Amino acid sequence: MATPLSADVALRAFTSEGLNVRESPGWRTHNRNHVGPWGPAHGVMIHHTGRYSTEAGMVGLCYNGRSDLPGPLCHTVIGKTGTAHMVGWGRCNHAGLGDAAVLAAVKAERPVPAAQRIDTDGNRYFYGVELINRGDGRDPWPAAQLDAAVRWAAALCRAHGWSERSIIGHLGWQRGKVDPKGFSMADFRARVHARLADSKPGGTKPPTAGKPVPARPLFPGRGAFGPGKVNDHVLTLGRQLVKRGYGDHYKVGPSPTWSEADRRNVEAFQRAQGWTGSGADGLPGPDTWRRLFG
């Protein structure tokens, strides 16, 4: 059980992580605590706004809310240039109702199942950020905005001692939601993982700008995987699963020989993408490969 950070502690965590923070008037006490409890905190939720007028207009909307949904609609709004606007602290109308099984997985930091039920109040348990983006799959995601979002999430995870598995997209919480659209949560969590691993406590180490990104290995085809297969592709797959936090079923680590542990780890990764049925059969296809090595 984690007690939510106070507004001042959270602000120090964000600025220590290198965020450019702007404070809306009265944000420290602007919340919905009078309608329900705030805490314990179990995770971090990422949203996109789904509309875009001006940055100031979107910050105002998230601060004040709508006629059908009072503000604040999140804790922080991050604009295209990476500025993080604090609009509230405490209970906010951002998560809505979601699946208790998803909450349990986030709380335990294990792979998240596909959301099925709407039975749990997420506004109580999650920190929420709105990233200004139309959410149509065409509106670009500037590097500065994504970097700020990674820093925002990493600051909260660092303050609570959480890993990147405590981060979820709105689409993973509630059926029918698509946000954030335009980048994968698996990739986002991987960036937070790298930041938590590479940064000093407090986030004082600057980002490694200009560091070359390793090329994604080419997908060798489905025939490289499955019972009886022994090759370097199986080993490469297993090592990447471990790197991304999906190696729980290995007893001694990955090897070039395909095993049931490989299948179960791949399945866990696929289910974390929200895939079910044949999409989560534990055998990597091109989409699994792209997301795993993205």
Rounded to whole angstroms, the Cα distance separating 168 from 157 reads 12
Identify whether residues 194 and 226 lie together within a single domain: no
- Average pLDDT over every residue of 251-276: 91
pLDDT at residue 286 in the model: 85
User: What pLDDT sits at residue 243?
Assistant: 87
Mean pLDDT of the region 29-45: 97
Report pLDDT digits (tens) over 202-257.
444 434 344 444 556 878 888 889 999 998 899 999 999 988 889 889 888 899 99
d(CA 15, CA 19): 5
Task: Check whether residue 25 and residue 150 sit in a common domain.
Answer: yes
Please tell me the pTM assigned to this model: 0.69
Q: Would you say residue 265 has pLDDT above 80?
A: yes
When divided into structural domains, the chain yields a total of: 2
| pLDDT at position 199 over 70 | no
- Residues 252 and 274: their CA atoms lie apart, in Å, by 28
Inside any domain, residue 2: no
Indicate whether 1 belongs to any domain.
no
Task: Give the C-alpha separation, 116 to 197, whole Å.
Answer: 33
- 158 and 54, same structural domain? yes
Band the pLDDT of 138: cuts 50, 70, 90.
confident
Domain that holds residue 261: 222-293
Q: In what order do the strands lie in the sheet with 83-86?
A: 20-23, 83-86, 76-78, 126-131, 43-48, 167-169
The CATH code of the domain that includes 20 is: 3.40.80.10
Residues of the chain with pLDDT > 70, as a percent, come to 94
Q: 85 pairs with which residues across the strands?
A: 22, 77
How many CB atoms within 10 Å of residue 186? 18
Amino acid occupying residue 222: R
What is the C-alpha separation between 250 and 210, in angstroms, rounded? 34
CATH of the domain at 251: 1.10.101.10
**Euclidean distance between CA atoms 270 and 257, whole angstroms:** 20
